[in-house]
Amino acid sequence: MLGGKDEDEVKSLRARTVLHLQGLSSGTTSRDVRAAFDKFGPIKAVVMNKDIEGSSKADSDQAYIEFNLADDASKAFDASIFDGLTVRDAPVKAEFFKSSLDTMIASPTIHITGLSQEATLADLSELFERYAVVVNVRFGRHPGTAFVDFRSAESASFVVDAHRARPFELGDDSAPSLAFAAPSVGLRKFARPAEPPAELQPSHPTIFATKFGRPVSEEILRRVFCEHGEITDVTRKGENTSEMARAPD
């Protein structure tokens, strides 16, 4: 509520674009929050408190939502106060938040804790590649921890939401937890490759790929390279080499 604040304070609060939400029901995802709030205007980002590394389980009913426009954030705030706005049938409390979400937005890297000591990198790769293209998997410095890099923050968010809806299993009794982490060095550049100058773009319809860090299936190769053009054929030459033919322009 804004009661008791003077006119300048109210004006300052209503100039903000971020709302802090409380009272979310268990299992609420970022998609649920977007579905409830997108009627007020374009949403820049949604961050679930439970996905912030180091957050407390006691705060898992909270989230942050950032609108493109302050007017839209004000409309959403008013609706939560006066119209009983709900998310998944749970009434939510909204307050203006002073900071931008730039440092809290989902990253392409997920931090995993609570892994079984028997879990291998191959196990993790196989699990997460069911949901999105995996760039890299590595163990953390502490036992039972690991990091998984995806091609984009959107892919990582999809994986986290899938885990929240139905916790992943690794074939043992471990109950791993997922949270966003700082992206690996160079990952952002990999996720958004720059278009090479026209004079440097190859004209040959077939490329030869080699030196994969581990065996890669045809399906994964197609998913990685399909955004660059139609693929007509993939030929496996061995464990770590492949040829791909691109459809002529």
For each of the domains in the chain, give its residue range(s) and CATH number, in order of start: 7-97 (3.30.70.330), 109-184 (3.30.70.330), 195-246 (no CATH)
Instruction: For residue 186, name the pLDDT band (cuts at 50, 70, 90).
Output: very low
**Sequence letter at residue 194:** A
Report pLDDT digits (tens) over 195-241.
444 444 445 567 666 655 556 677 777 766 666 667 777 776 665 45
pTM of the complete model? 0.45
Contact 57, 98 (CB under 8 A): no
With vertex at residue 35, the alpha carbon angle to CA 187 and CA 43, rounded to the nearest 5 degrees, is 55
77 HSE (CA, 13 A, CB side): 23
Distance, in Å, from the CA atom of 16 to the CA atom of 67, rounded to the nearest integer, reads 9
Contact 52, 179 (CB under 8 A): yes
For the segment 113-147, what is each residue's pLDDT rounded down to a tens digit? 888 888 889 989 989 998 889 999 999 888 888 88
Identity (one letter) of the amino acid at 228? H
* Token duo for residue 172: 């043992």
